[in-house]
């Protein structure tokens, strides 16, 4: 009985002092579509992204006068609300079309995880219910034909929304050729592509035969500034945190930091969440110090997580650089790294890859930010990539430890 009372008391305390009331609002992944819509409406009320929504409206308004709008390319850095805004807009659009009796079909695809042309076309066909998931062995042509057959009868507006289109690996040309040239001529519906990308220049290396056909309009989502972020964070605090436990200046600090560093709302909210979590563990209010701590913790986590999910060969490549960099003054060149790599690969019972491929792996590591490489010439002593580790030893230690252990469990 006493224990029970004690427990009840603890629960009472916890409920009174906890900071996080509803943690779902600190992580968009956990929110349902209605709640997301709700957040977005609040944002519009705060005059954020209103202009962009307006532009979307204008672009698609001609539909209702039986005019065919151009394609639409949407740009913007990660976390600027491109995807959410566009998705919500599509929902609104499709409701409006329905009420006005206009045939309109919306297909949504996303390449958040990088996709090969094969996987993309496979998804496209699946979305139209004319195919199952395949892993290999089916011709691109077959998916395209299936998709076209499925769409042949439809004569209304067909909107194809592709998120993160810049994430198509290898030959993205086949995809564009299909979407921009082939699809519109072989189906009877009026096709409008909405292509979302976080790179401004992804249309640059488009085949001229395709790009001349590509009538488009651009829409740019600018990064959030400190004022926007402050409004966004305030909304989240309102929904998810116990306001009394947030010290003055905390959200201002997060907003200022985030707008300076990246203008990414998702990251700003993640920082708030981490700070709240750390404060809760310490049983204190969220202070400015918590924000600083949270910031470095997130930084560390980011690299560790990236390192753990890397393919095995690339992990080995990283280890080879790491171990040779620590003995030779932090700078390695490709040849040295490769020798160490071969030894490591044998130790782990893995077939070593060629040096050509090894240097490709290093390039991928460079992209993740785990190493930095620049190509230099040492005159008579050759031309090579000079590779170094950009981060502090503590982080690197941790990262390599995690890689070692994840290699063992495979």
Partner DNA sequence: TGTCCACAGGAAATACGGGGGT
Partner DNA sequence: ACCCCCGTATTTCCTGTGGACA
Binding footprint of DNA on the chain (CB under 7 A):
116-119, 134-141, 169-171, 313, 333-336, 351, 353-357, 359, 362-363, 375, 377-385
CB 14, CB 238: distance < 8 Å: no
Cβ 403 to DNA, closest distance in Å?
17
In the bound state with DNA, the residue whose beta carbon lies nearer, of 123 and 163, is 123
In the bound state with DNA, the residue whose beta carbon lies nearer, of 286 and 321, is 321
The rounded distance, in Å, linking the Cα atoms of 109 and 117 is: 13
Work out the number of other CB atoms within 10 angstroms of the CB of residue 97: 20
In the bound state with DNA, the residue whose beta carbon lies nearer, of 51 and 378, is 378
Backbone angles phi, psi at 101, to 5 degrees: 65, 40
Cβ 121 to DNA, closest distance in Å?
8
Cβ 317 to DNA, closest distance in Å?
12
In the bound state with DNA, the residue whose beta carbon lies nearer, of 171 and 301, is 171
Angle at 71 between CA 66 and CA 72, to 5 degrees: 115
Cβ 200 to DNA, closest distance in Å?
21
In the bound state with DNA, the residue whose beta carbon lies nearer, of 41 and 363, is 363
**Burial classification of residue 23, based on how many CB atoms lie within 10 Å of its CB (0-12 exposed, 13-18 middle, 19 or more buried):** middle
Cβ 142 to DNA, closest distance in Å?
8
Cβ 333 to DNA, closest distance in Å?
5
Work out the number of other CB atoms within 10 angstroms of the CB of residue 133: 9
In the bound state with DNA, the residue whose beta carbon lies nearer, of 307 and 362, is 362
> In Å, how far are 114, 185, 371, 387 from 180, measured between CA atoms?
20, 9, 38, 41
Cβ 398 to DNA, closest distance in Å?
26
In the bound state with DNA, the residue whose beta carbon lies nearer, of 134 and 213, is 134
Chain centre to alpha carbon of residue 317: 25
Cβ 404 to DNA, closest distance in Å?
21
In the bound state with DNA, the residue whose beta carbon lies nearer, of 4 and 410, is 410
Work out the number of other CB atoms within 10 angstroms of the CB of residue 351: 7
């Amino acid at each position: 009985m006493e224990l029970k009372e004690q427990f009840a008391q603890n629960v009472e305390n916890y409920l009174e002092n906890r900071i996080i009331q509803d943690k779902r609002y600190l992580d968009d992944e956990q929110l349902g579509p209605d709640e997301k819509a709700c957040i977005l409406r609040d944002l519009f009320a705060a005059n954020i992204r209103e202009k962009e929504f307006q532009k979307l409206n204008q672009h698609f308004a001609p539909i209702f006068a039986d005019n065919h709008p151009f394609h639409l390319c949407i740009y913007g850095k990660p976390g600027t609300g491109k995807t959410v805004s566009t998705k919500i807009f599509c929902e609104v659009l499709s409701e409006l079309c329905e009420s006005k009796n206009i045939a309109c079909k919306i297909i949504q695809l996303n390449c958040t995880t990088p996709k090969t042309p094969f996987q993309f076309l496979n998804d496209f066909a699946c979305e139209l219910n004319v195919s199952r998931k395949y892993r290999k062995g089916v011709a691109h042509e077959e998916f395209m034909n299936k998709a076209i057959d499925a769409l042949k009868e439809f004569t209304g507006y067909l909107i194809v929304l592709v998120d993160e289109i810049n994430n198509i690996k290898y030959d993205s040309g086949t995809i564009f050729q299909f979407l921009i040239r082939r699809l519109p001529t072989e189906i009877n519906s009026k096709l409008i592509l909405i292509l979302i990308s976080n790179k401004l220049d992804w249309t640059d290396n488009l085949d001229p035969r395709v790009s001349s056909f590509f009538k488009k309009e651009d829409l740019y989502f600018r990064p959030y500034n400190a004022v926007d972020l402050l409004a966004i964070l305030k909304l989240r605090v309102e929904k998810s945190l116990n306001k009394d436990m947030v010290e003055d200046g905390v959200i201002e600090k997060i907003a200022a930091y985030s707008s300076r560093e990246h203008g990414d709302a998702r990251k700003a909210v993640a920082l708030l969440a981490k700070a709240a979590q750390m404060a809760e563990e310490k049983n204190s209010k969220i202070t400015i110090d918590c924000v600083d701590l949270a910031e470095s913790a997130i930084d560390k986590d980011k690299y560790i997580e990236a390192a753990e999910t890397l393919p095995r060969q690339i992990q080995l490549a990283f280890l080879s650089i790491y171990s040779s960099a620590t003995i030779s003054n932090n700078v390695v060149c490709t040849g040295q790294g490769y020798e160490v790599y071969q030894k490591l690969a044998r130790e782990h019972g893995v077939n070593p890859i060629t040096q050509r491929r090894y240097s490709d792996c290093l390039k991928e590591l460079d992209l993740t930010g785990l190493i930095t490489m620049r190509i230099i010439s040492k005159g008579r002593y050759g031309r090579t990539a000079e590779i170094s580790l950009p981060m502090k030893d503590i982080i690197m230690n941790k990262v390599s430890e995690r890689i070692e252990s994840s290699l063992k469990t495979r």
